[in-house]
Amino acid sequence: MRVLILGGDGYLGWPTAMYLSRRGHAVALLDNFVKRRWEAETGGRPLIDVPKLPDRVRAWSRISGRDIAHYDVDLCDYASVVRVLADTAPDVIVHYAEQPSAPFSMIDVHHAAATQSNNVIGTLNLLWALRDHRPSTHLVKLGTMGQYGTPNIDIEEGFLEIRHNNRTDRLPFPCQPGSFYHLSKVHDSHNVRFACAAWGLAATDLNQGVVYGIETDETKLDPALSTSFHYDAVFGTVLNRFCVQAILGTPLTVYGRGGQKRGFINIRDTLRCVELALLNPAPAGEYRVFNQFTEVFGVAELAETVVHSATRLDIRSRIDHLPNPRVEREDHYYNPVGSGLTALGLEPHLLSQELVGSMLRNIGAHTDSIDRAAILPVTNWRRELPATPLLARG
């Protein structure tokens, strides 16, 4: 297939490009590199220096013998999006090109507005470009499990059968997003669903859990093919932070009591899920949703798992609890359904298999590159400060 990957310079975009290219697809990338500028602004330098995209593309061509086209284009520039669609004529578009951080979106009004403008307007431009120029292209958009929140019912895959006053209907699952970033993803989903209904577009929304993993089969081929690994308080994930803290021998910082539950997925499984969505496209006019996760952990449980895994490397670590900077329920019911991708053939990797064999060992090899000041939280969801102030950068 001809595949256009939006956000092709990112943590997921670049590994997806190599994964699909290696399997014979014709791959093109679009990115305006604003994520790198946001990282520099917030001090979120990746653990391992990531080569610039043109350098990685050249390295991939040398190693694999396959070429990948790339475009320096902003999705918020509609005319440029149309030109890229004309150049690439994609059968499938994989859409990662969004600001991905909840803490970033909660820094202040400017970061909240930048998040929603980038994410919502960029996707809206894409939908109109598809309508007018590539209506048969299958859109695979990365959503987030976080847009559901933590309802006291099972989380279905995108839709819920409702019975009210003796009538029934199948309606979008009610969302309770926890940040302006998560809200932007809800807006995206509504816009994509409407475009499918109104214009006959075909779209798959992959509502993904927290992704972990520092390498894939392709990134391991050469250091020039590496992808980013963030552990900072703005762009890093909770698991990445815990792993880095364990390697440093500093306490693992659990926010609040640590009862918050989330879905998790290995980066290799993310690539496979995207491939399954490509190979089994939604029909014209259909908006479908897959919940993309393989395991569920509470935050405190996750910290204990990291501590236990670290002991296998003779690393002793412990857990501390910080005031929770987020507004979220810390003890709650959480039972998401994730059968759609499994039915298509997903065979999950498990966290217990990944921690020691890949993540902790790789982080340990780059200990000197860790910025300790970047780990602790700097963004507060609340108007009032907690009783114990959060530690600030610098």
| 123 has catalytic annotation | no
Task: With a cut of 60, say whether residue 389 has pLDDT above it.
Answer: no
Mean pLDDT, range 355-378, rounded to an integer: 93
pLDDT attached to residue 385? 54
Q: Which tops the pLDDT comparison, 128 or 390?
A: 128
Q: Which CA distances in Å does 271 have to 15, 23, 58, 65, 333?
A: 8, 12, 21, 21, 29
Q: Which CA distances in Å does 318 have to 61, 78, 369, 391?
A: 44, 50, 22, 19
Range of lowest pLDDT (52-56, 73-77, 229-233, 388-392): 388-392
Q: Of 96, 181, 231, 334, which residue is the catalytic one?
A: 181
Task: With a cut of 70, say whether residue 392 has pLDDT above it.
Answer: no
Q: pLDDT tens digits for 47-100? A: 999 999 999 999 999 999 999 999 999 999 999 999 999 999 999 999 999 999
Mean pLDDT, range 206-229, rounded to an integer: 97
Contact 94/5 with Cβ under 8 angstroms? yes
| 181 has catalytic annotation | yes
Q: Of 16, 88, 137, 144, which residue is the catalytic one?
A: 144
As assigned by CATH, the class of the 2-214+267-294+335-348 domain is alpha beta
d(Cα 294, Cα 269) in Å, to the nearest integer? Answer: 8
d(Cα 280, Cα 282) in Å, to the nearest integer? Answer: 7
